[in-house]
Amino acid sequence: MNKLDTKFGDFGGMYVPELLIPALDQLEQAFLDAKDDPGFQEEFMSLLKDYAGRPTAMTLSRNLVSNPKVKLYLKREDLLHGGAHKTNQVLGQALLTKRMGKKEVIAETGAGQHGVATALACALLGLKARIYMGAKDVERQAPNVFRMRLMGAEVIPVDSGSGTLKDAVNEAMRDWSATYDKAHYLLGTAAGPHPFPTIVREYHRMIGEETRAQIMEKEGRLPDAVVACVGGGSNAIGMFADFIDEPDVRLIGVEPAGKGVHTKEHGATICTGTKGILHGAFTFIMQDHDGQIEESYSVSAGLDYPAVGPQHAYLHDIGRAEYFAVTDTEALNAFQLLARKEGIIPALESSHALAHALNMAEEAEEETIIVVNLSGRGDKDLAHVTKILGDKL
């Protein structure tokens, strides 16, 4: 039986084939042992500091907000090695892999950011990585495929199903069910079966902890709200975790509304979704009346996932966190605005969080401090955005 809670209220759980239960139990045990092992913690902290570049800066925006009552801070995960927050938890899980005596790593990736983070950690720690990526994504994200291969990872295109992220997850789980003895499945977000949502949260929680320390130093008080984008929800849960017990801090998750939540082309699972099971967890998912999983859509590949981490489903359910949806167009506007006003090119994912925070800033009537988790940088999105905006710049 499990040593940690496998559920968040009704959400989460371990809805996987019986065959994978021993591997998930082994992972839970390794995670717990590592938590109490000063040697493990020291190595993890040292990698985060000396290799990845933690703590990341927190920047007060200078020109972005016109409302004088509002201070908008950016938590700069875009400055982390690898270009996004993803490096944090990948380093943690890669260390766990070694701890379990496994030498191979399986991962899934959509846009390629988690794949790149996995590839770099495996290169550094001497692990062999194979990364499943939807065949369509392999074509669309050629530079990231090259990055992964450059760092020694094997990239396996997935043709089954729709050839996107959810199918890459399916294929990774299929691989793992045959190879769990020697391979670790390094899941890339705070979703999936227990213990992944808990491990991924704990290995990203320094985002919120640093934010707390930095805002206390700069402002002498906690922020009124922290805002983060939510696809699977890893950067958001990393930002939220340290503030969940601070009722005065609003926790705000921003989902991709794509072409509008009333169209079929979006990925706003909490805002519009119904409950169901996908990839091992009971959570909000996109599905038809029969329970067949529907394709999600977003301009930002990192938010394009038809489910969400179960702890977000729970935080929504109990009313502790609030979830909103931002369209492609709003996100693209915020993307350009941050570049022009602050000289920072954000990831399209993070641009969703920023777009919502800018709306909040405009509407604020009292003194308000907002921290946006700028989860990644936008270099990876340049080709895509050029295609969309063309010469309109």
Partner 1 sequence: MEQTRSQSAKFDGSARYSKMFSRLNEVEQGAFVPFVMLGDPEPETSFEIIKALIEGGADALELGIPYSDPIADGPTIQKASIRALKSKVRPGDCFEIISKVRAEFPDIPIGLLLYSNLVLAKGVDEFYLSASKAGVDSILIADVPLREADRFINIAKAHNIQQILIAPPNASDETLSAIGDKSAGYTYLLGRAGVTGAETAADVPAKALIDKLQQYQVAPPLLGFGISTPEQVKTAIQSGAAGAISGSATVNIIEKHLDDKPAMLSALKAFVQSMKAATQK
Residue 320 burial (C-beta neighbours within 10 Å; 0-12, 13-18, 19+):
middle
CB of 168 to partner 1, least distance (A): 12
Asked if 107 is part of the footprint of partner 1 (rule: CB under 8 A), the reply reads: no
Q: Tell me which of 13, 53, 157, 260 binds partner 1, using CB under 8 A.
A: 13
Among 8, 14, 225, 349, binds partner 1 (CB under 8 A): 14
- Asked if residue 311 binds partner 1 (CB under 8 A), the reply is no
Tell me the closest approach of the beta carbon of residue 277 to partner 1, in angstroms: 5
* Residue 304 contacts residue 167 (beta carbons within 8 Å): no
Query: Does the active-site annotation cover 108?
Result: yes
- 16 scored as a contact of partner 1 (CB under 8 A): yes
Contact pick of 102, 140, 166, 250 for partner 1 (by CB under 8 A): 166
- Told to check if 46 binds partner 1 by CB under 8 A, we report no
What whole-number distance in Å separates Cα of residue 184 and Cα of residue 93? 9
CA distance 186 to 129: 10
Q: Which of 108, 210, 330, 349 is catalytic?
A: 108
Using the 8-state DSSP alphabet, how is residue 51 labeled? Answer: I
- Residue 223: burial class (beta carbons within 10 Å; 0-12, 13-18, 19+): buried
170 binds partner 1 (CB under 8 A): yes
CB of residue 170 to partner 1, shortest distance in Å: 5
Q: Determine if 286 is a binding residue for partner 1 (CB under 8 A).
A: no
Q: Is 156 in the site for partner 1 (CB under 8 A)?
A: no
Tokens 């940088």 — which residue? 377
CA distance 371 to 92: 25
Q: How many residues bind partner 1 (CB under 8 A)?
A: 38
Cβ atoms < 10 Å from Cβ of 112: 26
- Considering only 256, 280, 310, 376, the residue that binds partner 1 (CB under 8 A) is 280
For partner 1, which residue of 268, 293, 321, 338 counts as binding (CB under 8 A)? 293
**Is there binding between residue 178 and partner 1 (CB under 8 A)?**
yes
Q: How far is the CB of 280 from partner 1 (least distance, A)?
A: 7
Which CB, 166 or 212, lies closer to partner 1? 166
The b/e string for 52-69 (b: 16+ C-beta within 10 A; e otherwise) is bebbbebbebeebbeeee
311 vs 350, which CB is nearer to partner 1? 311
Output the DSSP codes for 229-248.
E-SS-HHHHHHHGGGTT-TT
Q: Is 318 left (phi over 0), alpha (psi -120 to 50) or beta?
A: alpha
Q: Does 177 bind partner 1 (CB under 8 A)?
A: yes
2 or 359, CB closer to partner 1? Answer: 2
- Pick the binder of partner 1 from 11, 73, 132, 180 (CB under 8 A): 180
SS3 readout for 255-308: EEEECCCCCCCCCCHHHHCEEEEECCEEEEECECCCCCECCCCCCCHHHCCCEC
- Record the tokens describing residue 229, joined without a space: 């984008």
The CA-to-CA distance between both ends of the chain, in Å, stands at 57
Binding segment (CB under 8 A) for partner 1, from list 111-119, 251-259, 280-288, 316-324: 280-288
Residue 375 designated active-site: yes
Could you say which of 71, 75, 77, 86 is catalytic? 86
- The helices-and-strands tally (H runs, E runs) of the chain is 15, 14
- Give catalytic residue positions: 86, 108, 375
What does the binding site for partner 1 look like in residue numbers (CB under 8 A)?
1-2, 6, 13-22, 160-161, 166-167, 170, 173-174, 177-180, 275-280, 282, 285, 287, 289-293
